Structure 1
Amino acid sequence: MIKAVYFDLDDTLYDQLQPFQLAVQSTDLIHHINEQLPIEDLYRRIRRHSDLLWEKHISG
């Protein structure tokens, strides 16, 4: 019997970078990752823009 269900609303219970890295590695995007644009920086940039778009979306 299920006694509890947890939702990770702020995405802090798992490492989001790892699935992002796996997704990038399985596409042609991996060829654009280098010392000048490490995958961690790319992830942070995408998240920043995603968060901004989310704010626009929820505000109408």
Structure 2
Amino acid sequence: MMETKFFELRDAGTFIPVLCVQLDSRGEAERYLLARAGYGQTSKDHRTYILMMGI
């Protein structure tokens, strides 16, 4: 299961809310898509990646 968390990046005068998602594959279809996208071949490989996006 992919784990998600919200964070805030702060600096003097800066506030950036972000959403982070740790990748994981639950089935063969998800494993295949993540592997084709370049995130490794196994579920263990996928968990080493965390996507961070501004919200």
Normalising to structure 1: TM-score of the pair?
A: 0.28
Normalising to structure 2: TM-score of the pair?
A: 0.29
Greater relative contact order (CA < 8 Å, ≥ 6 in sequence)? 2
Decide which structure has the larger Cα Rg and report it: 1
